[in-house]
Amino acid sequence: MKKTINTMSYVGYTILMTLGNKAFAAETVEIIESDATVSEIITKITGWVVTLVGAIAVLFIVWGGVQYITASGNKDKAELAKKTITYAVIGIIVVVLAKVIISLVTGTAGEIVS
């Protein structure tokens, strides 16, 4: 179990360090333009949320896989791992559907794929 926690900690640390390097880049980038419309701002924010939740869901899928592998025939642990993976996939589906609905409502259906 300690090895699993250490591995997940290492993966999380690596992700944070990768994101941190981009955050402290030399160039200043305007994240949301000052003349952006409300629909553009909503579209950009939902894009960020989908990306963040997608990354977290992938980590939960990996964690569920590790739990399943280390269950060693224990049905309760295997069931918990299956639930973890199932809920992560459901979370991804809900977030993607939310992005689609928000894009349709804001009238930017052409940007759903981007």
Reduced 3-state DSSP string for the chain:
CHHHHHHHHHHHHHHHHHHHHHHCCCCCCCCCCCCCCHHHHHHHHHHHHHHHHHHHHHHHHHHHHHHHHCCCCCHHHHHHHHHHHHHHHHHHHHHHHHHHHHHHHCCCHHHCCC
- Digit-coded pLDDT (tens) for 56-81: 999 999 999 999 999 988 999 999 99
Q: Is the pLDDT of residue 113 over 60?
A: no
- Digit-coded pLDDT (tens) for 40-61: 777 788 888 888 988 999 999 9
